[in-house]
Structure 1
Amino acid sequence: MSSVKLKVEQIAKYFGPTKVLQDLDLTVQKGELLTLLGSSGSGKTTLLQIISGLTEPTSGRLLIDGKDETWTPVHQRDIGVVFQNYALFPHLTIEENVAFPLRMRKLPGAEVARKVKNALGMVELGHVAQRFPRALSGGQQQRVALARCLVYQPGIILMDEPLGALDRQLRETMQMEIRRIHRESGATIIFVTHDQEEALALSDRICLMNEGRIVQIDTPQAIYEQPRSTFVAEFIGLSNILNGHVQGNQLVTRQGTFALPHSAFTTGQASLVIRPEHIRLSRAGTALLEGEICERIYAGSETRLVVALTDGARFIVRSTGMSGDKIGDFVSLGWDVQHSLLLSA
Structure 2
Amino acid sequence: MRCIVFGAGAVGGLIAAALAPHFETALVARGAQRDAISQHGLRIVGLDGTLSTHRLETSAESGQMAPADIVFVTAKSHAVAAAADAIARSRKPNGMVIFVQNGVPWWYLLQLAPESLPPSHQALVRHFPGCAAGIAYFGGTVTAPGTVQHTGSGKLLLGAALGPADPRLALICKQLDAGPIPVEIAPDLPLALWNKLAVNAALNGIAALTKAPIADILAAPHLRSLLLGIVAEIAQLGASLGHAVDFDLQRQAALIGSNQKSSTLQDMEAGRPIEYDALFAWPQAIAERTDVPMPMLQLVAAMVLQRAKYG
- TM-score normalised over the length of structure 2: 0.29
Rg (Cα) greater in structure: 1
> Going by fraction, where is strand more abundant, 1 or 2?
1
> Going by fraction, where is helix more abundant, 1 or 2?
2
- TM-score normalised over the length of structure 1: 0.27
